[in-house]
Amino acid sequence: MSVVAVFWIVNGKSNPSYKIAWIIPILLFPIFGGLFYIFFFGGKKLSRYEKEKLRSIGFKVKNALVPDPMVLSEIMLHDDGAAVQSRYIQNIAYYPPHKNSTAEYLSIGEKKFEKLKEELKKAEHFIFMEYFIIEEGIMWNSILDILAEKAKKGVDVRIIYDDMAVSCFCREITTKSLRAWASSVVYLIPYPRYCLPG
């Protein structure tokens, strides 16, 4: 069963990252992995409306992220391997490389947390955050205090979170309590539960 599922996935037209994400668990759990995939995703086909919607989104993304060929040429001058990876990411995920951007490497979570609080306190117009799981505790509560203060000052505060993960894995924090906070301080956007990768 799992061998059939793996062949089905490999020959499919989906994104290679989704293929790997499914193949690994199927091979790790050969009996249940294959059955799970075939039962939930094996026979699923997109409707004409869904295909058109995805095509439209892809078209908008490609038009919004126009690649600059000079940037890729500059990368190639410095590192052929990096240029190959950049071209792949540009062609598959529609994320072209850009110039004049910076990133700060934070080696441990504690540094990231302190930097996050600093940056949240600096926000003047909007704060958009995205998390897979939100759980009550020192970290979330201190972030929430900052968000509440910013929202009172008129900053547009929005949080995207995985509604399914929060309700399944976080016992102390519930979707209901998140929505209660949302009405007073933040705008929460739960992911639709039917949008699973397939």
Domain ranges of the chain: 2-42, 48-93, 109-190
Is 109-190 CATH 2.60.40.2140? no
Tokens 């990133």 sit at which residue?
103
114/117 Cα distance (integer angstroms): 5
DSSP code of 194? T
Distance of CA 127 to the CA centre of its chain: 17
Q: What is the CA radius of gyration of the chain?
A: 21
113/137 Cα distance (integer angstroms): 13
- The answer to whether residues 54 and 62 touch, using CB atoms and an 8 Å cutoff, is no
50/23 Cα distance (integer angstroms): 25
Q: Cα 153–155–158 angle (5° rounding)?
A: 135
Please state the φ and ψ torsions of residue 59, each to the nearest 5 degrees.
-65, -45
Give the pLDDT of the chain (198 residues) as one tens digit per residue.
667 777 767 777 666 666 777 777 777 877 777 777 766 665 567 788 888 888 888 888 888 888 888 999 999 999 999 999 999 998 888 889 988 888 889 999 999 999 999 999 999 999 988 877 777 788 888 888 898 888 888 888 888 776 665 555 555 555 566 666 555 545 565 655 544 444
- The answer to whether residues 158 and 128 touch, using CB atoms and an 8 Å cutoff, is yes
pLDDT the model gives residue 76: 92
